[in-house]
């Protein structure tokens, strides 16, 4: 039985709690959030206690073996250090950290303290994304040439509006399209060069849009689009190879759409699409991490992968600020962006 303490009752904390609720071998031992009411809504179906602080949780709980950090990015480092110090295995939301130095610090410290560290790059667990990788590996489209991805929708709202604070979140690039950076690197290997443009620094209120070109060492050219200027939320990809094309668009593939005549919570005259699965990608991801703990195995997304994803994102931010392409190599010291 795993005893999991969840930090944060925001969007991801809620989603993770719902996944754990479905698992037989997991007990959520508590949810830490300074907003009691929000946390209570997440905790009560699980019969879990709510703690106002980590201190309170640690002084109250007899036992836990996993902490699941679902807090804003800039808080990751402090929390990882706190729990690694006392030997607790860690699941941490993506991005692993706000800066490369913090990311490296987190990885090194967990290794030093001999605790496991899993970073929740959940896109690798979305069946529609995994399938493209599988088909490409089987040769369905021949050698990949040009890839395009889209991820975006409306500007996100979070605790204290932290997404809108670039120094907290790293914005659209570090918080959102890092998913696609990781996914593309998973398929095509290391990135050689990054060039990017975005609305960062243009003083537009709650609006961001980014177009990033990645050149992989394998030759693949990828175009990564991120938006906090659209409505709703959609993701898309298209990978064109020497002998074929594979594509997916969440806005077009809708297995279930609910349209209610009654005006009500989120459904009044509005179409509510769902893509129901017996196991959600979040469930699959957490189940995989727990299995890796039990069997002492490498996860399919490692902490080093999470570092590399931040490295691509930071290079994109650097390119946006300098107007120049950024060549990636591990020896280079990146300016703080």
Partner 1 sequence: MKIGIISFAHMHAYSYARSIQRIDGVELAGIADDNVTRGTKMADTFQTDYYRDVDSLLSAEIEAVIVTSENVHHVDHVTAAAEAGKHILCEKPLATNTVDAKKMVAVCKENGVILQTAFPVRFNTSIIRAKELVEAGKLGRILAMKGTNRGTNPGGWFIDPKKSGGGAVMDHTVHVVDVMRWLMKAEVNEVYAEVDQLITEEKIDDCGILTLEFTNGVFATLDCSWNRNKTYPTWGDVTLEIIGTDGMVSIDAFAQKVNVYSDDKGLAWDFWGDDMDFGLIQDFVTTVLNKREPSITGEDGMRAVEVAIAAYESASRKKPIYIG
Interface residues toward partner 1, by CB under 8 A? 141, 143, 145-146, 148, 193, 195, 197, 199, 202, 204, 207, 209, 211, 213, 215, 219-221, 223, 225, 227, 229-230, 240-245, 323-325
H-type helices in 61-126, by residue range?
Answer: 76-85, 100-112
Residue 293, helix vs strand vs coil: helix
| Closest distance to partner 1 from the beta carbon of 242 (Å) | 5
| Closest distance to partner 1 from the beta carbon of 123 (Å) | 21
Between the two ends of the chain, the Cα-to-Cα distance in Å is: 42
Kindly give, in sequence order, each residue whose CB lies less than 8 Å from that of residue 330, ignoring residues fewer than 6 positions away.
none
| Closest distance to partner 1 from the beta carbon of 157 (Å) | 19
| Closest distance to partner 1 from the beta carbon of 321 (Å) | 14
- Burial zone of 213 (CB within 10 Å; 0-12 exposed, 13-18 middle, 19+ buried): middle
- Rank residues 34 and 242 by Cβ distance to partner 1 and give the closer one: 242
| Nearest C-alpha neighbor of 208 from the set 216, 197, 217 | 197
Rg (the chain; Cα; Å) = 20
| Closest distance to partner 1 from the beta carbon of 316 (Å) | 12
Quickly count: other Cβ atoms within 10 Å of residue 28's Cβ. 25
Tokens coding 144? 């990949």
| Closest distance to partner 1 from the beta carbon of 156 (Å) | 17
- Rank residues 32 and 317 by Cβ distance to partner 1 and give the closer one: 317
- Rank residues 66 and 141 by Cβ distance to partner 1 and give the closer one: 141
| Closest distance to partner 1 from the beta carbon of 163 (Å) | 18
| Nearest C-alpha neighbor of 120 from the set 304, 310, 282 | 282
- Rank residues 111 and 206 by Cβ distance to partner 1 and give the closer one: 206
Cα 97 off chain centre by: 11
| Closest distance to partner 1 from the beta carbon of 187 (Å) | 15
- Asked if 271 and 257 count as a contact pair (C-beta separation under 8 A), the reply is yes
Kindly state the helix (H) or strand (E) to which residue 147 belongs, with its residue range: strand 144-153
- Rank residues 27 and 321 by Cβ distance to partner 1 and give the closer one: 321
- Rank residues 47 and 323 by Cβ distance to partner 1 and give the closer one: 323
- Rank residues 146 and 258 by Cβ distance to partner 1 and give the closer one: 146
For helices 76-85 and 100-112, angle between their N-to-C axes, nearest 10 degrees: 10
Tokens coding 202? 């243009």
- Burial zone of 211 (CB within 10 Å; 0-12 exposed, 13-18 middle, 19+ buried): middle
- Rank residues 115 and 312 by Cβ distance to partner 1 and give the closer one: 312
């Amino acid at each position: 039985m795993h005893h999991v303490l969840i930090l944060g009752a925001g969007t991801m904390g809620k989603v993770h709690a719902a996944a754990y609720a479905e698992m037989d071998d997991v007990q959520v031992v508590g949810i830490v959030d300074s907003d009691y009411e929000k946390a209570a809504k997440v905790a009560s179906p699980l019969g879990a206690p709510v703690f106002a602080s980590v201190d309170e949780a640690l002084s109250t709980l007899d036992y836990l073996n996993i902490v699941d950090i679902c807090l804003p990015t800039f808080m990751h480092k402090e929390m990882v250090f706190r729990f690694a110090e006392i030997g607790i295995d860690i699941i941490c939301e993506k991005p692993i950290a706000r800066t490369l130095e913090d990311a490296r610090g987190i990885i090194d410290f967990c290794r030093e303290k001999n605790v496991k560290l899993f970073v929740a790059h959940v896109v690798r667990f979305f069946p529609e994304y995994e399938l493209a990788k599988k088909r490409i590996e089987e040769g369905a489209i021949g050698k990949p040439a040009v890839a395009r991805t889209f991820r975006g929708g409306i500007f996100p709202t979070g605790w204290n509006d932290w997404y809108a604070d670039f120094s907290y979140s790293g914005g659209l690039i570090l918080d959102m399209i890092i998913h696609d950076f990781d996914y593309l690197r998973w398929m095509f290997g290391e990135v050689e060069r990054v060039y990017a443009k975005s609305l960062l620094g243009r003083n537009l209120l709650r609006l961001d849009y980014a177009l990033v070109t990645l050149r992989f060492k394998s030759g693949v050219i990828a175009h990564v689009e991120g938006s906090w200027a659209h409505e709703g939320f959609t993701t898309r990809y298209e990978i064109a190879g020497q002998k074929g094309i594979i594509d997916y668009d969440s806005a077009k593939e809708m297995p279930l759409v609910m349209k209610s005549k009654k005006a009500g919570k989120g459904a009044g005259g509005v179409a509510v699409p769902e893509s129901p699965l017996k196991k959600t990608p979040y469930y699959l991801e957490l189940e995989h991490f727990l299995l890796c703990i039990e069997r002492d195995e490498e996860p399919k997304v490692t902490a080093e992968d999470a570092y590399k994803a931040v490295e691509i994102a930071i290079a994109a931010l650097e390119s946006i600020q300098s107007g120049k392409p950024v060549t990636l190599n591990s020896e280079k010291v990146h300016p703080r962006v």
